[in-house]
């Protein structure tokens, strides 16, 4: 089954404790991206990757890191989480074979709470 898998689904942590949210897709998609969703703000892009070893900042990259060593994986790293990073996070992927943006396939989300 074609899917984007995020782990964990829920995570409660304390300020300053490094964490990683994993994201993996089995559709051989070139493009992957991380979003955070907050009430009233919609989906805001954190980082995205056009292909292996190519990553770029989105709209809200501060406090986050990503890597794209393999095509299928795109982990999100919070080196020193803070309470303002409490949010619902989504990983998404898509093809890059047309002039227009291909539809995004989203993971099930990770609800992160930083105390």
Partner 1 sequence: GQQVMQIPQYQHVQEGEDFTTYCNSSTTLSNIQWYKQRPGGHPVFLIQLVKSGEVKKQKRLTFQFGEAKKNSSLHITATQTTDVGTYFCAGSNFGNEKLTFGTGTRLTIIP
In the complex, which residues of this chain contact partner 1 (CB under 8 A)?
Answer: 31, 35, 40-45, 48, 50, 58-59, 90, 92, 96, 99-101, 103-109
Among residues 40 and 80, whose Cβ is nearest to partner 1?
Answer: 40
Q: Shortest gap between Cβ of 108 and partner 1 (angstroms)?
A: 5
Among residues 36 and 78, whose Cβ is nearest to partner 1?
Answer: 36
Q: Which long-range contacts (CB under 8 A, 24 or more apart) does 29-32 make?
A: 29/71, 29/93, 29/94, 29/95, 29/96, 29/105, 30/71, 30/95, 30/96, 31/93, 31/94, 31/95, 31/96, 31/102, 32/68, 32/74, 32/91, 32/92, 32/93
Q: Shortest gap between Cβ of 35 and partner 1 (angstroms)?
A: 7
Among residues 14 and 27, whose Cβ is nearest to partner 1?
Answer: 27
Q: Shortest gap between Cβ of 94 and partner 1 (angstroms)?
A: 9
What's the CA gap between 67 and 33, in Å, rounded? 11
Contact call for residues 69 and 3 (beta carbons, < 8 A): no
Q: Shortest gap between Cβ of 98 and partner 1 (angstroms)?
A: 10
Among residues 51 and 80, whose Cβ is nearest to partner 1?
Answer: 51
């Amino acid at each position: 089954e074609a899917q984007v898998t995020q782990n964990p689904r829920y995570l409660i942590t304390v300020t300053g404790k490094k964490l990683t949210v994993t994201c993996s897709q089995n559709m051989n998609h070139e493009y992957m991206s991380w979003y955070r969703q907050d009430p009233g703000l919609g989906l805001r892009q954190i980082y995205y990757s056009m292909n292996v070893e190519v990553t770029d900042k989105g709209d809200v990259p501060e406090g986050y890191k990503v890597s794209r060593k393999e095509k299928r994986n795109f982990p999100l790293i919070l080196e020193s989480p803070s309470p303002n990073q409490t949010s619902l996070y989504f990983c998404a992927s898509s093809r890059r074979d047309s002039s227009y943006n291909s539809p995004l396939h989203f993971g099930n989300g990770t609800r992160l709470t930083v105390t």
